[in-house]
Amino acid sequence: MKDTSDIFGENVFSLSVMKARLPKETFKEVKAAIDNGKRLSQEAAGVVANEMKQWAIEKGATHYTHWFQPMTGITSEKHDSFINPADDGNIILRFSGKELIQGEPDASSFPSGGLRATFEARGYTAWDPTSYAFIKEGVLCIPTAFCSYGGEALDKKIPLLRSMEALNKQAMRVLKLFGNEDVTSIKTTVGPEQEYFLIDEKGYNARRDLIYTGRTLFGAPPPKGQQMEDHYFGVIKPRVQAFMKDLNDELWKLGIMATTEHNEVAPSQHELAPIFTTTNIATDHNQLTMEIMKKVAQKHGLVCLLHEKPFDGVNGSGKHNNWSMSTDTGTNLLEPGATPYENAQFLLFLTAVIKAVDDYQDLLRISVASAGNDHRLGANEAPPAVISIFLGSELTDVLEAIENDQPYGAKEKELLRVGVHVLPKFPKDTTDRNRTSPFAFTGNKFEFRMLGSASSIALPNTVLNTAVAESLKQFADQLEGAEDFTSALHELIRKEIKDHKRIIFNGNGYDDSWIAEAEARGLSNLKTTPDAVKHYLDEKNVALFTSHKVYSEVEMQSRHEVFLEKYTKLIDIEAKTMLEMAKQDILPAVSAYSSELAGSVTAKTSVLGSAPAFEQDTLKEISEDMKAAYEAYLDLEEDMKKSKDIDDLEKLADFIKDDVLSDMASLRASCDKLEAETAADYWPFPTYGDLLFAVR
Ligand code: ADP
Ligand code: MG
**Which pLDDT score, from 0 to 100, does residue 126 have?**
79
CATH class held by domain 566-692 = mainly alpha
Which atom of ligand 1 lies nearest, measured to the CA of 323?
Answer: 25
Same fold: 163-551 with 566-692: no
Average pLDDT on 315-333 reads 96
Query: Would the CB of 324 count as within 6 Å of ligand 1?
Result: yes
At how many degrees (to 10) do helices 613-643 and 587-608 cross? 160
Q: How confident is the model at residue 2 (pLDDT cuts 50, 70, 90)?
A: low
- Residues of the chain with pLDDT > 90, as a percent, come to 68
Query: Would the CB of 332 count as within 6 Å of ligand 1?
Result: yes
Burial call 230-255: b when 16+ CB within 10 Å, e when fewer: ebeeeeeeebbeebbebbbebbbbbb
Residue type, 222: P
Query: Would the CB of 445 count as within 6 Å of ligand 1?
Result: yes
Which atom of ligand 1 lies nearest, measured to the CA of 275?
Answer: 16
C-alpha span between 258 and 268 (Å, rounded): 19
Which atom of ligand 1 lies nearest, measured to the CA of 276?
Answer: 16
Average pLDDT on 270-284 reads 94
**Which pLDDT score, from 0 to 100, does residue 118 have?**
45
For ligand 1, atom 17, which residue shows the shortest CA distance? 191
Query: Would the CB of 203 count as within 6 Å of ligand 1?
Result: no
Nearest Cα to Cα of residue 178 among 497, 424, 480, 402: 480
Most confident of 262-276, 338-352, 675-689: 675-689
Decide which of 453 and 7 is more confident: 453
For ligand 1, atom 1, which residue shows the shortest CA distance? 432
**Residue 366, beta-bridge partner list:** none
- For ligand 1, the distance from its centroid to the CA atom of residue 286, given in whole angstroms, is 15
At how many degrees (to 10) do helices 661-677 and 553-581 cross? 30
* Backbone phi and psi for residue 418, each to the nearest 5 degrees, phi listed first: -65, 135
Which residues have C-beta within 8 Å of that of residue 668, sequence separation ≥ 6?
217, 218, 312, 578
3-state secondary structure 476-528: HHHHHCCCCHHHHHHHHHHHHHHHHHHHECCCCCCCHHHHHHHHHCCCCECCC
Query: How many residues would you count in the chain?
Result: 696
Query: Would the CB of 159 count as within 6 Å of ligand 1?
Result: no
Element (H, E) at 27: helix 24-36
Decide which of 112 and 682 is more confident: 682
Which atom of ligand 1 lies nearest, measured to the CA of 442?
Answer: 6
Query: Would the CB of 191 count as within 6 Å of ligand 1?
Result: yes
Which atom of ligand 1 lies nearest, measured to the CA of 443?
Answer: 6
The ranges assigned to domains in the chain are: 4-155, 163-551, 566-692
Element (H, E) at 676: helix 661-677
Q: How confident is the model at residue 424 (pLDDT cuts 50, 70, 90)?
A: confident
Query: Would the CB of 276 count as within 6 Å of ligand 1?
Result: yes
CATH class held by domain 4-155 = alpha beta
C-alpha span between 172 and 695 (Å, rounded): 51
Tell whether the model's pLDDT for residue 657 goes beyond 90.
yes
Q: What is the pLDDT of residues 84-114, one digit of tens each?
A: 766 777 767 777 777 777 766 666 666 777 6
Average pLDDT on 430-454 reads 87
Query: Would the CB of 260 count as within 6 Å of ligand 1?
Result: no
Nearest Cα to Cα of residue 244 among 204, 275, 289, 191: 289
Which range among 373-382, 544-553, 625-634, 682-691 shows the weakest confidence by mean pLDDT? Answer: 373-382
Do the Cβ atoms of 399 and 418 come closer than 8 Å? no
Which atom of ligand 1 lies nearest, measured to the CA of 322?
Answer: 26
C-alpha span between 155 and 146 (Å, rounded): 5
Which range among 41-55, 261-275, 413-427 shows the weakest confidence by mean pLDDT? Answer: 413-427
CA dihedral 373, 377, 381, 382 (to 10 degrees): 90
Which atom of ligand 1 lies nearest, measured to the CA of 447?
Answer: 12
Distance of CA 295 to the CA centre of its chain: 19
- Of 195, 251, 445, best ligand 1 pocket probe by most atoms within 8 Å of the beta carbon: 445
Q: What is the pLDDT of residues 480-537, one digit of tens each?
A: 999 999 999 999 999 999 999 999 999 988 888 999 999 999 999 999 999 999 999 9
- For ligand 2, the distance from its centroid to the CA atom of residue 273, given in whole angstroms, is 8
Query: Would the CB of 462 count as within 6 Å of ligand 1?
Result: no
Query: Would the CB of 436 count as within 6 Å of ligand 1?
Result: no
3-class SS of residue 133: strand
CATH superfamily to which 163-551 belongs:
Glutamine synthetase/guanido kinase, catalytic domain (3.30.590.10)
Do the Cβ atoms of 586 and 629 come closer than 8 Å? yes
DSSP one-letter string for 225-274? SSTT--STT-PPPHHHHHHHHHHHHHHHHTT--EEEEEE-SSTTEEEEEE
